[in-house]
Amino acid sequence: MLDTLAADLFTVQNLIALISLAALEIVLGIDNIVFIAIITSRLHRSQQGRMRRVGLVLAMLQRILLLFAIGWVVRLTEPLFSVLGHGVSGRDLILIGGGMFLIAKATFEIHGTIEGEHGQDHDSAKTKQISAAAVLVQITLLDVVFSLDSVITAVGMVNNLTIMVAAVIASVAVMVLFANPVSEFIVRHPTIKMLALSFLLLIGVVLTADGTGHHVEKGYIYFAMGFSILVEVLNFRLRSKVKSSSALH
């Protein structure tokens, strides 16, 4: 059986499809990494790395399960009822629920970050932590939304289940490798963290809009976020240069 799977996978056409799909899965997983980085930042430092890995492994398992239940996923796109002439499907309901949750979560986190920095109870706000169970529940709920989007994209690109599963595993392996450095960088730099929260807020709006029938290409969102990060990196370099010059004088 393994020989059959290997022969099915290792052809030029299938390898190109695998690499392309894995790359796309990594791009689609950026919002997942950002969310996990933000939500795990309130855990005790000794738990953060482990919970990030658990969150990504959960995402992988959910995507693989959805791939094997592809018939059910396809039926989720069928309208259940209509609102103002727009057919609302199960997928739409999941996207709307996930989008509204992201909007609320990002808003509360932005509020908490600002109040923590400028409010009177700075120390207590900064050290406020939540339980690992609460973090796991939130990660699992959002993983469902991100996984559904990822699986529907995979089905649209490839019709080979082996390739889809292999691409999901490969993409999650890469994300696990970079999750801790990316998360530490986000948490360590307040302005980057605010950009990341704004990114989650924007993704929440896009998911909600998509669920109501107003599709927005995520490429525009990723480009805007990438441009913002590039500007912030330049500002970071400039601030470092100014500090170095001040120290010399």
Q: What is the model's pLDDT at position 207? A: 84
Rounded Cα distance, 124 and 188, in Å: 18
Give every residue of the chain whose pLDDT is below 50, as ranges.
1-2, 118-127
Q: What is the model's pLDDT at position 247? A: 65
Which pair of structure tokens corresponds to residue 66?
Answer: 């959805």
How many residues are recorded in the chain? Answer: 249
Q: Tens digit of pLDDT for each residue in 26-75?
A: 877 777 888 888 888 878 888 888 888 888 888 888 888 888 887 777 67
Kindly give the pairing relationship between strand 79-83 and strand 86-89: antiparallel
Rounded Cα distance, 32 and 228, in Å: 19
Backbone angles phi, psi at 82, to 5 degrees: -120, 145
Instruction: Give alpha helix (H) positions in 69-89.
Output: 70-75
Contact present, 88 and 81 (Cβ < 8 Å)? yes
In this prediction the pTM is: 0.71
Contact present, 85 and 189 (Cβ < 8 Å)? no
